[in-house]
Chain A
Amino acid sequence: MVRIEFLGPIAKASIHIEANSLRDVALYLQEDSELSVWLDKLAIAVNDTMVCDLDYVLKDGDKISLLPPVCGG
């Protein structure tokens, strides 16, 4: 199981899913209509490191963070 957490303005509680790669996570999230407005704008981190590769292999207990558009300052 991996944990998916939604940061900032995405008002959604963390979820746990079975996933072997970020591709599995993407397929899961694409099924969720609540997330459709966010998907093309989200950056991804695995265990607090930014990741840009859909084939990134996940292991049990990984934390996946979804980061919506930012604006500091």
Chain B
Amino acid sequence: MMVEIYNGALDVKAIFSNWLDEGIERNWGAFIPFIGIVREEDGIEALSFDIYEPILNGWFNDWQAKAKKRGAILKMAHSRGDVPVHTSSYMSAVFSPKRRVALELIDEFVEDFKANAPIWKYDIVEGKRVYAEDRSTPMSGAGLMSKKD
């Protein structure tokens, strides 16, 4: 299962509906979605995203394998390019027959997504694309290239 990547804002209702239908059809049990909405703050018009898909899909497949061991299934959708305020750039969900597993997994998955998914965020302010450096986190293992010995 791959990450669903869309150009621009996510069609939240359509994606949610697809996931819900698939979960019902496959008898997957509890369905816990997480939907991120771009907030209007600091004068931004939109957020914008770059994604490096090969590593994103590898990261997601590792998480899917971890979820499977706990009897759960993960879903994820993310935007590429510009996403206006009050629209969505990120959705994920956990399906599991067990409520507790699903609640724990959505927490762990979304936290690691923020820390290690290869996605770069920019603010769009007065039409300019500015890297959101102060909100960005170095990935696990960062710093190797600054070592001298």
In the complex the two chains form, what is the Cα distance from A51 to B55 in whole Å?
12
Q: Give the total of B residues in contact with A, Cβ under 8 Å.
A: 38
Asked if A69 and B133 make an inter-chain contact with CB atoms under 8 angstroms apart, the answer reads yes
User: Closest chain A residue to B140 by CB distance?
Assistant: A43
Q: Contacts A68-B120, A69-B138, A70-B119 given; indicate if A42 touches B143 (C-beta within 8 A).
A: yes
Asked if A73 and B114 make an inter-chain contact with CB atoms under 8 angstroms apart, the answer reads yes
> Across the interface, which residues of A come within 8 angstroms of B90, CB to CB?
72-73
Contact with B141, one of A8, A44, A65, A66 (Cβ below 8 angstroms): A44
Asked if B137 and A52 make an inter-chain contact with CB atoms under 8 angstroms apart, the answer reads no
> Across the interface, which residues of A come within 8 angstroms of B65, CB to CB?
none
Give B113-140 as 1s and 0s: 1 = Cβ < 8 Å from A's Cβ atoms.
Answer: 1111111111000000001110111111
Chain A interface residue bracket vs B: 20 to 34
Asked if B145 and A39 make an inter-chain contact with CB atoms under 8 angstroms apart, the answer reads yes
Give A13-52 as 1s and 0s: 1 = Cβ < 8 Å from B's Cβ atoms.
Answer: 0000000001001100110000000011111110011111
Residue B96 at the A interface, CB < 8 A?
A: no
Asked if B138 and A41 make an inter-chain contact with CB atoms under 8 angstroms apart, the answer reads yes
In the complex the two chains form, what is the Cα distance from A70 to B113 in whole Å?
9
Residue B14 at the A interface, CB < 8 A?
A: no
In the complex the two chains form, what is the Cα distance from A70 to B140 in whole Å?
11
| 16 pairs of residues in contact across A and B, judged by CB atoms under 8 Å | A22-B144, A26-B147, A39-B146, A43-B141, A48-B58, A50-B141, A65-B52, A65-B55, A67-B55, A67-B142, A70-B119, A71-B119, A71-B137, A72-B114, A72-B117, A73-B121
A-binding residues in B (CB < 8 A)? 36, 49-50, 52, 54-55, 58, 78, 89-90, 110, 113-122, 131-133, 135-148
Those 8 A-B pairs whose CB atoms lie nearest each other, nearest first: A8-B120, A72-B119, A69-B136, A43-B139, A52-B141, A9-B131, A48-B54, A39-B146
B-binding residues in A (CB < 8 A)? 7-9, 22, 25-26, 29-30, 39-45, 48-54, 65-73
